[in-house]
Structure 1
Amino acid sequence: MSPRVMLVLPTATYRATAFLRAAEGLGLQCVVASDEAPTLAGLMEGRVLTLNLGSFDEAAERAAAFAERWPVDAVVGVDEASVLAAAHIAARLGVGGNPVDAVAATRDKRRMRSLLADAAVRQPSFMEIRGDAEGSAAAHAAAAVGLPCVVKPVDLAASRGVIRANTAAELTAAIARVDALLRRPELCGPDDNPPLLIEEFVPGPEIAVEGLLSDGALTVLAVFDKPDPLEGPFFAETLYTTPSRRLPAVLDSAVAATRAALQALGLRDGPIHAELRLAAGGPVFLEAAARSIGGRCSSALRFLAGGVEMTLEEVLLRHACAMPLDNPRLAPGGAGVLMLPVPAAGILRAVSGVEESSAVSGVTGVEVTIPLGQTVEPLPEGDRYLGFVIARGPDPGFVEAALRQAQALIHIEVE
């Protein structure tokens, strides 16, 4: 009988379709564990499980009760909002996965910074403060970490709530703005004064490392360049291209820093996505996630293993289910993704140029992921991209040019 894998995913994730297709292609039995039951759940016995992804112990116990009837061989959290619930479930079921504490450290930037500091991993200087509407901690924070600096929530992802401040006055305003974001009903936690991090701003280009851990050993699947400078004041990511065009020695140093950071965090098994800045004195580690790259970005990637071409999701499911996976490596050529940021707050009225951008040489897909008529909000308060453009070609330079050409053809109207 084929392995049964439990995919733990929020209803709103971008990643469900890619993982489900990969599971089907591999002949796996698949259980979708989500926070909402599908319409036909009654006809899908043994294939769906409704969980409260925010109540980890409860989710683990419900999964254990499910597994008594339908044994589960692997558990995969498909994105940031589900990795911690997946870690608790995997631990409760006794299947492979990362230690719960290690995954929890990736979801709390305070804990991450502390562990990296203990292991002497080079990272931005930082301090924790408590948010307040007046930003009264700004002067102390500026003196502690210097200016410019960055304000960020401890538990949000995708640059949400991340703001650069160049002066003490800007820092005061940034603290107040992030504090207001964290007091929104959908984000408000039990803490009356939500914690924030104030971090040194590290100049230099940014890269991302996509990898796979097996018994603590890291296999680098891809290194992405981010060709657009991420200088702030907000940090919407746009272009990712791979393979990296940085010098081999620079990349070797970045991968070594990544390995040290993952070891410090205690991550042992499964996908990782890490972010680093290439500073003048060497790589500076920003953060790591116990999951693969988000959004639709994975659709740009193809890997070769044992002479077989496969998607990133196929690589991850083969690993999770202990299926044959012979030294996966990035397929030849260049690949990249353009994430379309929301340009302004309001109602999304029109997106034009999709057909024209789809016709650009090298572009393999253009998808607008927010329906017209919906309210949209840009970073730092927003949490979604407008859509994704995927490209492949002979090399990353070709791919970057194709994505920039496609971007110039897309026009967005927000009322």
Structure 2
Amino acid sequence: MFILEEPYVSDLLKRAALDLGAPVLDTPMARQALAGTGLRLWGDDAFAEAFTGGGHPRIYANSEHAIGWVARHLGATALPGRIARFKDKLRFREMLADLYPDYRFAGVDLEGLARFDPRSIPAPFVVKPAVGFFSLGVRVVRDPAAWPGVAAELAEAARRQGSLYPGQVVDFDRFIVEEVIEGEEFAVDAYYDAEGRVVILDILGHLFASEEDVSDRVYYTLPALIRRWREPFAAFLEEVGRRAGLRDFPVHAELRVGADGRIAPIEVNPLRFAGWCVADMAHHAYGLNPYACFLEGRVPDWERILPEREGKVFALVVADLPSRVDPATLESVDYEAFLARFHGVLELRKVDFTRHPVFAFLFLELPEDELPSLRGILGEDLSRYACPREPTP
């Protein structure tokens, strides 16, 4: 079953919806994405009945915009509660607290940020919306003396960005303040099968420009990454799933691995894989349709897949704009100049930059030894590709 919502439905996701014949909820985004295909969309009641009737136990949502629908129409099922355990970062930390007894975190509302004592959490620490998405409202604080400025920045971010997504996706009214989890960061798309076993569909390494960088600028994957971390990450996620009672459930997990090899979760996003259909990286890199894998219970044959990709690295560049740039002031983006900066382009996804703080998602295939070259884009001000509107006389 599919719930297709804003902000983006990729061709690969459309193909899965068309090929599998599973119910697709009738939403404005589904009507737009599947127009002309002849696929029948299911109304609210019929879709809910198909799920609760047991014939279609798996739902995939490409966006957390779907969470509100699930809460309204599937409230009598276990699904909303499972989602809430992960979407609310405070509840998530509390669920795993005994695994990390020395880890410090606290909740604070928007009005309380200015009064929060920054010395109550060991520095460095991170503050972010308790319900959040896409690094919106995330700040790293290394010096408690900087807290008043950070609190003011977050209040301004709440004013400017609070309306970009529904409250169930990003809520600037509540924040979590927590210790920085040190180590190498990874993003994992996976699903829980009918017995609660974890099936890994992709693992992405996350590159950063500095210790202060919290952006989503560059991700990459290659066979060595899958070989090294597939089994450890699956074992960790199975413990998480055991605590949350997960079955027939997709997740996008963000994890860090410390110098001692210990795995620690940053967050686990429910009911979906990587946002904006970035989960399509599994297709570009490994020939998988992750949506079909989940709905049909397919397990990748990594022993066959990985040798065919040796010597290659597959990367994603998120062309985001600085927060100081007001998207409403932009006239256009010089996509040709942006593309000219890269080679090995697999796909360019143009984004409506007047509505979102991003103008493109770029998928690349490079020789493995060119992975270090991707660091050049980290921290770069991409506003130079954005063309502002001419002032009105």
Q: TM-score, normalised by structure 1?
A: 0.73
* Alignment partner, residue 172 of structure 1: 148
For the residues of structure 2 that align with 1:224 and 1:249, how far apart are their CA atoms?
A: 12
* Alignment partner, residue 385 of structure 2: 412
* Alignment partner, residue 322 of structure 1: none
* Alignment partner, residue 202 of structure 2: 222
* Alignment partner, residue 297 of structure 1: 278
* Alignment partner, residue 391 of structure 2: none
Choose from 335, 360, 363 the match for 2:345: 363
Asked whether the 8 Å contact 2:202–2:226 carries over to 1, the reply is no
* Alignment partner, residue 18 of structure 1: 12
RMSD: 4.2
* Alignment partner, residue 351 of structure 1: 333
* Alignment partner, residue 81 of structure 1: 65
Alignment of 1:125-164 (within 5 A): 125-132=104-111, 135-137=114-116, 139=117, 142-164=118-140
Asked whether the 8 Å contact 2:127–2:140 carries over to 1, the reply is yes
- For residues 136-157 of structure 1, give each alpha carbon's deviation from its aligned partner in whole angstroms, at most 9, with x where no partner exists: 11x2xx3332112111111111
Distance of aligned partners of 1:304 and 1:236 in 2 relative to their CA distance in 1, 3 Å threshold = closer
Tell me the amino acid that sits aligned with residue 315 of structure 1: C
1:8 and 2:3 correspond: yes
- Equivalenced residue count is 370
Structure 1 residue 42, shift from structure 2 partner: 12
Give SS of 1:349's match. strand
Asked whether the 8 Å contact 2:86–2:92 carries over to 1, the reply is yes
* Alignment partner, residue 313 of structure 1: 291
Structure 1 residue 165, shift from structure 2 partner: 1.4
1:335 and 2:335 correspond: no
Structure 1 residue 121, shift from structure 2 partner: 4.8
Distance of aligned partners of 1:300 and 1:222 in 2 relative to their CA distance in 1, 3 Å threshold = closer
Aligned-residue sequence identity (percent) comes to: 18
* Alignment partner, residue 110 of structure 1: 90
Residue segments in structure 2 that go unaligned for 5+ positions in a row: 389-393
For the residues of structure 2 that align with 1:200 and 1:340, how far apart are their CA atoms?
A: 28
- For residues 38-96 of structure 1, give each alpha carbon's deviation from its aligned partner in whole angstroms, at most 9, with x where no partner exists: 4799999983357xxxxxxxx6x57447989xx8675322222224634775676x8xx
Structure 1 residue 286, shift from structure 2 partner: 0.9
* Alignment partner, residue 191 of structure 2: 212
For the residues of structure 1 that align with 2:29 and 2:276, how far apart are their CA atoms?
A: 20
Asked whether the 8 Å contact 2:110–2:175 carries over to 1, the reply is yes
Q: TM-score, normalised by structure 2?
A: 0.76
Tell me the amino acid that sits aligned with residue 31 of structure 1: V
- For residues 360-382 of structure 1, give each alpha carbon's deviation from its aligned partner in whole angstroms, at most 9, with x where no partner exists: 542211222125xx266xxxxxx
Choose from 27, 30, 41 the match for 1:34: 27
For the residues of structure 2 that align with 1:102 and 1:391, how far apart are their CA atoms?
A: 35
Distance of aligned partners of 1:293 and 1:414 in 2 relative to their CA distance in 1, 3 Å threshold = same
Structure 1 residue 194, shift from structure 2 partner: 2.8
Structure 1 residue 114, shift from structure 2 partner: 0.5
Structure 1 residue 313, shift from structure 2 partner: 2.4
For the residues of structure 2 that align with 1:78 and 1:40, how far apart are their CA atoms?
A: 12
Higher helix share: 2
Tell me the amino acid that sits aligned with residue 275 of structure 2: G
Residue segments in structure 1 that go unaligned for 5+ positions in a row: 51-58, 320-324, 377-383
For the residues of structure 1 that align with 2:23 and 2:33, how far apart are their CA atoms?
A: 16
Asked whether the 8 Å contact 1:152–1:196 carries over to 2, the reply is yes
Asked whether the 8 Å contact 2:321–2:359 carries over to 1, the reply is yes
